[in-house]
Structures are given as structure tokens and as C-alpha cells.
Amino acid sequence: MSSADTSSTPSTPPLPDRAAAPPVAPDGPPGPRPRTAGREPRMSTRRDGTPAVVDCAVYVDGLRQDLVEPEEALRTARESGGFVWLGLYEPAEDELGALAGHYGLHPLAVEDAVFAHQRPKLERYDDGLFMVLKTATYVAHEELTATSEVVETGEVMVFVGTDYVITVRHGDHGELSELRHRLEEQRELLRLGPAAVLYAVADHVVDAFVDVAGDVEDDVDELEASVFSPSRTDDIGRLYQLKRELMALRRAVFPLEVPLQKLTERQIDVVPEAMRSYFRDVLDHAIRVRDQVAGLDELLTSILQASLARTSMADNEDMRKISAWAGIIAVPTAIAGIYGMNFEHMPELGARHGYPVVLLVILAACLLLYRGFKRNGWL
């Protein structure tokens, strides 16, 4: 199974935690949570040994029940009046296609979930929902270079029905195992059904965006300090690379606003009225991180322009210095060139002190030019 991935604490204050109370059986008095010893869901594996099925469980009255096979989970959930949460990791087309028949998933949604590379969206198929969310993580680095990878993205697809929720994850990050464990401790929230899982996944993704945006902001601050430092630096390559990486985060954050608005404003059968306030809170955080990313992008553009302007000014300053020194050197060059013509009748050729006088004239002319260039800021 995939290892758990620690995410930030959900932004919405958790409902009262009743996990400490004795679990309640579906049709009986309080007692131990039912488990079937030695029974684990079959997990189809790929050649590299990675399981396609990460976890599969039925939840009744907010409590996790026996481990079941993915093919039997839906029937078990309907018989017990609960819902099934099936977690998949990069399933192959035949793997998800086999499950699609049991859960009644739309072929177009199945195709999107298998091949990924989708933009964030929310689609309705008959009585179910299909939502695509982009995930993002910050790639730590000791020093930002012109080739550094800063933001790594992945995808999470969520199928939501009246009695099932299927999460399909793509990418090496954004694991949902830890999220599932935390959600299982919030029984009141799980009682709201599959929509509660959709909310938890969306909140988990948006919280990750907040963390990534904060880390990227640190990189932007470091570049800003470098560009405006007294020492001369060349940060254009690093600025351009960070701007490219920030674009990946923009593509994950910006399109998410529309699907979340639909979940908060439209009447959807599989989303209870009580869940709208939860999605509204996620939408608020998504808009806030969207504005933060937009602000970082604009700031990077301004820093890039400032860096280009500073480079241009430095080049102009170098050209002025070169031109000034060239003008100073031109005086002795011209005088030496004239005296190098070897004419017979030239001033001071026969004078005893002619040579030092000419040197003094050259030195005086050079000093006057140097003083003039220095006063005008060319040197």
C-alpha cells in the first residue's frame, strides 16, 4: 500500500471528535468495531510492485466497517446503509474499467481518470459527480538556480455517487492515507456521506496550495533581495525559471474556483445542503491562495523588469567608463602619432627640454579629461 502523506490541518474547525467513544454497530449496542481477521482486499499490482488499490472500506453511520473486496464493497454498503470509499493509485485502463462496471462510472470520466493530464473541473454524469483536482508540492532546494524544480504537480480525481466515493491519485505526492485516518476520527462529518470525503480531499489540496505558495514566496523574497543588493548579480535565469514554475501552480489553483462555486451554489443530489458551508470555506481559501499566487506572479514580473533595467544600466555605465578611458588615452596616442611622422620641421624637435615638455602636456591634458569625466559621473 502507499505510505501516508502528512498534510496541513484542515482549514475548517473539526467537528467534535467522537472517535474516543465506543464504536456503535449498525444494528446493535455499543461494542468493538467489527473486523474480519486475516481478510484484506485483493490489490492488483503492477510490474514495479505498486498496488493499484490503496484502500477500500465501507463506512456506516460514520464508522469504518470490515475490510471488503472492491468488487463487493458497493453491495455491502447498500445492504448496510452506508457508503464505500475506494482509493486507487494510477490504475491502468483495464483495472479501472473493471471497477467501472460495478460502480456504474461513465466511460468518459473513466478515460479522464486513467490518462490524467486534466485541468481542474467538475462534471455531472447522471446521478454522480466527477471532479478533477490538481495537486502541488514544493521541491526543497539549497539554492535556487536557473534549472531548479520548484513546484511539482499531480492530480486527484474523485468519483462521487449516492453510496460510493472513488479517489484516483496520479503523481508521487498528495497521498490520501493520512487524510483518511484523520477523517475517520470525525464521525459526525463522515455521517454526511460521500460528499464529506470530496470536501476533505478538496480542503487537503487547497491547504497544500497554501503551503506551496508560502514556500515560493520565500524564494521570491530571496530573489528580490539579490536583485536589489549593492553587489552586481545576474538573476535573470533564476527569475525566469521561478516564473515558469509558478505558472504550474497557477494552472492548478486558478481553474479550481469554478468547480467549487458549483458545489456551493447549485443544488446537487449527492451533495447535502449541510455540506455547502464546508465547500464555501474551501472556496474562500482557494480564492485567497489564488490572489496570493497572482500577486507573486506580478511581483516576479516587476522584479524581472527591474533586473533587466539594472543590467541595462550597468551595461551603459560600463560603456561610459570605456568611452571615458578611450577619450583619455586618445590624447597621448594623438600626440605620439603626430611626432611619429618624422617630419624635419616640427615644434620642439631641437629644444633641449622638448621631450619632457611634451610629456607634461600629455599628462596635463589627460588629467583635465579625467577630472571632467569624473565630475560628470562617467568614471
Q: What is the pLDDT of residue 116?
A: 84
Classify each residue of 331-368 as buried b or exposed e, where b means 16 or more C-beta atoms within 10 Å of its C-beta: bbeeeeeebeeeeeeeeeeeeeeeeeebeeebeebbee
Q: What is the pLDDT of residues 190-244, one digit of tens each?
A: 999 999 999 999 999 999 999 999 999 999 999 888 888 877 777 888 888 999 9
Instruction: For the chain, give every residue range classified as CATH 3.30.460.20.
Output: 53-309
- Decide if 320 contacts 378 (C-beta within 8 A): yes
Give burial (CB, 10 Å; 0-12/13-18/19+) of 43. middle
Residue intervals in the chain for CATH 1.20.58: 314-375
Measure CA 183 to chain center.
Answer: 24
pTM beyond 0.75: no
Query: What does each C-alpha distance from 251 to 152, 244, 282 come to in angstroms?
Result: 12, 11, 18
Strand partners, 45: 51
CATH number for region 314-375: 1.20.58
Domain 53-309 maps to which CATH number in 2.70.98.40, 1.10.760.10, 3.30.460.20, 3.40.640.10?
3.30.460.20
Taking 50 as the pLDDT cut, the residues of the chain under it are 1-45, 47
| pLDDT of res. 12 | 41
Digit-coded pLDDT (tens) for 43-100: 444 545 566 888 999 999 999 987 788 888 888 999 999 999 999 999 988 889 888 8
